[in-house]
Amino acid sequence: MMLVGPTLPAHNVNLFQARSASFRNHTSPLNPSTIAPSSSSYSPASIKPGSNSTKMTRLHLANLDKLLQTPPPPQTQLDPQPDLEKDKDPHKNGSRENRGRGLLGGLKLSRLWTQVKGAAEDMSPRHLKRLQRLLSKTGEYSPRNNLGTRWREFHGSNNWAGLLDPLDENLRREVVRYGEFIQAAYQSFHSNPAMSAEEVQMPRNVALPDRSYKVTKSLYATSSIGLPDWVDEVRPDLSWMTQRSSWVGYVAVCDDKGEIARMGRRDIVIALRGTSTCLEWAENLRAQLIQMPSTEQGQQERQAKVECGFLSLYKTRGADVPSLAESVVEEVKRLIEQYKGETLSITVTGHSLGAALALLVGDELKTCAENMPSVAVFSFGGPRVGNRGFTNRMDDKDVKVLRIVNSQDVITRVPGIFVGEGALEEKLKNAKAGGFIDMIDRNMPLAYTHVGTELRVDTKMSPYLKPDADVACCHDLEAYLHLVDGFLASNCPFRENAKRSLVRLLQDQRSNVKKLYTSKANNLTSLKLERTGLMVSCLPSPS
């Protein structure tokens, strides 16, 4: 029977019943009127003149709730060969209500819910509003709080204990800021990769992201190997790819009184880009460990070894430029003398190859002068550089290293093999296998280990990047900064109040951004990337 609403006059009930009788066989299984009468259901015949409409509405809602509630799981196992005749007979197959519930149950919505739920959350107005906000801004950053007397803690005096998981908001801002110094090095090199003898005399014009700093020195790395001259004759337009010496970074110093007061000291930054020329790639492949230059420390330091190619780029002099090691030491000594009496700090930051060179710079600077200021290294996507002896040497010199590592980045797991690292090292120590570790370090040519404290992020934590993003995306510097900006803790999702704009990420890694967001980006905003000021005229680069 069909239900009668509270607005139907009581004297028309019988007439309505007579007219609706012919439609009984055409009602839907989902119609509440098809449910067998029970103590909790009602029929039009049970309606009395003057019945309370509120009570009827309550019964109606209860009936709907009974219909929509999840059916209990079957108590008996299903027959693997069902009776087809029973399925054909509606009387043998139970009530229409059960048939309706069986139809809905056949859809197995519970299995689809996990997939639908994720898409629904991504498509929710809240997420789209956040996407539009991140696409519409290019200059907003997390607030720069006054570091005051805590600046040494953020610079690694306690190896960033208690600041990484969960990530301190002030440290997050500092890490992203130092990453942007590396981006400026990439942009400056790609805009003018060729090098001339005249250029060496003056610092290169670098568009720094922080205007409170000024560039004081250009840095060059030189390969100890070279390619035949005929290579340049075949492709003279790409001669910069085969040049032995290339601009690799810069030295900058904070020159703003307000920023110096905020940071609690005057900061000297050394920023180094990653691999960009053929000869730099060739040096990366020279993975054998070689002895570090000896000093007056002792036997343990004489066991320190680093990758041959990295040390070559760091120590080799060019035809018109000094080595990277000589340039850095000379400029840092000059700045220390210039700002003598002030509180200073030295921050070395690099990405990929630049992260490896940053460790060598930090090792060199710590002992190059008396009363050396605090030296900290912030590395992004850095490979392994040396053996356990090199790690001990850095610890003895009190060089603080914060390694930002993407779990999906394969570059952070090369070169060589390693045994003295992380959980494996603990297991070997607990098994009293320290002698075995020492034997491996002394005799294995590729026994590498990492240096410093680790801040680990993961591409899969970003709601915008594909979980199966390719190797280039997982190693990309902008992807690193995007992940750090959204990182809360190892067991927390991507933070909703992330400040970093998605414009550059879409520009650099559009193929690795989820299609949902790339399509919505075109609909939500008319922003054109070439108008954001982020586009740089760059030549092709192997990186």
Cα–Cα distance list, 71 to 29, 68, 74, 114, 377 (Å): 15, 9, 9, 20, 61
> Of residues 210, 409, 441, 476, which has the active-site annotation?
409
Q: Choosing from 127, 475, 482, 508, which is the catalytic residue?
A: 475
Measure CA of the first residue to CA of the last residue in the chain; give whole Å.
73
CB < 8 Å & 24+ apart, contacts of 174-177: 175/378, 175/402, 175/404, 175/455, 175/484, 176/141, 176/142, 176/481, 176/484, 176/485, 176/500, 177/141, 177/209, 177/210
| Closest alpha carbon to 244 in 278, 284, 275 | 278
- Annotated catalytic, 475? yes
From 276, 352, 379, 543, the catalytic residue: 352
What is the radius of gyration, based on Cα positions, of the chain? 34
Torsion on CA atoms 18, 19, 20, 22, rounded to nearest 10? 90
Distance CA 419, CA 22 (A): 83
Note whether 386 and 304 are within 8 A (CB).
Answer: yes
Distance CA 427, CA 183 (A): 39
Q: Residue 66: enclosing H or E segment and its boundaries? A: helix 53-68
Tokens of 21: 């009788």
Partners of 221 in beta bridges: 246
Residues in contact with 290: Cβ distance below 8 Å, sequence separation at least 6, in sequence order: 305, 306, 307, 308, 311
Task: Report d(CA 68, CA 62) in Å as an integer.
Answer: 10
What region, left, alpha or beta, does residue 9 occupy, with left being phi > 0 and alpha being psi -120 to 50 degrees?
beta
Q: Which of 377, 350, 353 is nearest to 363 (CA)?
A: 377
The residues, any chain, with a CB within 8 Å of residue 164's CB and separated by 6 or more, are: 171, 453, 455
* Dihedral angle over CA of 289, 294, 295, 297, nearest 10: 70
> Residues 177-214, buried b or exposed e (16+ Cβ, 10 A)?
bbbbbbbbbbbbbbeebebeeebbeebbebebbbebbe
Q: Which two tokens stand for residue 31?
A: 């119609």
Under 8 Å CB-to-CB from 503, ≥6 apart: which residues?
A: 135, 138, 527, 529, 532, 534
> Strands 266-272 and 344-351, how do they pair?
parallel
Q: H helices within 264-387, ranges in order?
A: 278-284, 299-302, 308-315, 324-338, 353-365
Question: Residue length, the chain?
Answer: 543
To the query of whether residue 142 is one of the catalytic residues in this protein, the response is no
- Give catalytic residue positions: 352, 409, 475
